């Protein structure tokens, strides 16, 4: 399970970083989303992976660490809100700058005669 989990986190993070480095805002936002998913899974794993172990003390003989779940919850709330914000911001920038490039200029447009 650890290997599968690690590969999933790695793939999500790698795809996220690749997309964040793109030039248009939509892939960048997708990249931020993937990156935050990767990070959330990573945070979750910091309490170690366990099967059938509830995060409530007294419910089972070997409860799992509840703190990473609280941390992930905070991180999810923040990253979800920020994704919504950055989508709105990117839309506004696209309308105002008349293109969807992160730098606000369309590199192909400049070459047109």
Partner 1 sequence: MNHLPVLPILLPLITGALLVTLPRLGLNAQRFISLGATVAGLGLVLWLGSMVLEHGRLVYALGGWAPPFGIVLVPDRLSVLMLVLTATLAVPALIYACRGDDDAGAHFHALFQFQLMGLNGAFLTGDIFNLFVFFEVLLIASYALLLHGGGTARSRAGLHYVIINLIGSALFLLALGMLYGLTGTLNMADLATRISNAPQADQPLLQAASLVLLVVFGVKAALLPLLFWLPRAYTAAAAPVAALFAVMTKVGLYAMIRVFPLVFALDQPLAALTAWQWLWPLALATLALGGIGVLGATSLRNMTAYMVIVSTGTLMAIIALGSTEALAAALFYLVHTTLLTGGFFLFADLIARQRGAAGDYMVVTAAMKDRRTLGILFCFGAVALAGLPPFSGFVSKAWMLQASLAEGAAGIFWPLLLGAGFLMLVALSRAGSKFFWRQSPERDHDMRADRVRLACVIVLVGAGLVLSLAAAPLMDYTRSVAAQLMAPGDYVRAVHEAGLRLTGGH
Interface ranges with partner 1 (CB under 8 A): 20, 25, 28, 32, 35-36, 39-40, 42-43, 45-48, 65, 67-68, 71, 74-75, 78-79, 81-82, 85-86, 89-90, 92-93, 96-97, 102-104
Minimum CB–partner distance for residue 57 and partner 1 (Å): 13
Minimum CB–partner distance for residue 34 and partner 1 (Å): 10
Q: Residue 60 or 98: which CB sits closer to partner 1?
A: 98
- Answer yes or no: are the C-beta atoms of 66 and 55 closer than 8 Å: yes
Q: Residue 104 or 107: which CB sits closer to partner 1?
A: 104
Task: Provide the strand spans (E) within the chain.
Answer: none
Minimum CB–partner distance for residue 46 and partner 1 (Å): 4
Minimum CB–partner distance for residue 4 and partner 1 (Å): 18
CA distances from 50 to 45, 66, 88 (A): 9, 12, 39
Q: Residue 41 or 60: which CB sits closer to partner 1?
A: 41
């Amino acid at each position: 399970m650890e290997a599968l989990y690690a590969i999933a986190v790695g793939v999500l993070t790698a795809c996220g970083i690749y997309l964040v480095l793109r030039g248009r805002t939509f892939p960048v936002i997708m990249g931020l989303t993937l990156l935050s998913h990767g990070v959330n899974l990573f945070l979750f794993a910091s309490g170690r992976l366990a099967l059938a172990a509830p995060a409530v003390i007294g419910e089972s003989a070997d409860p799992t660490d509840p703190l990473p779940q609280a941390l992930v919850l905070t991180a999810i709330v923040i990253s979800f809100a920020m994704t919504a914000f950055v989508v709105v911001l990117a839309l506004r920038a696209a309308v105002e700058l008349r293109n969807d490039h992160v730098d606000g200029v369309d590199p192909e447009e400049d070459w047109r005669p």
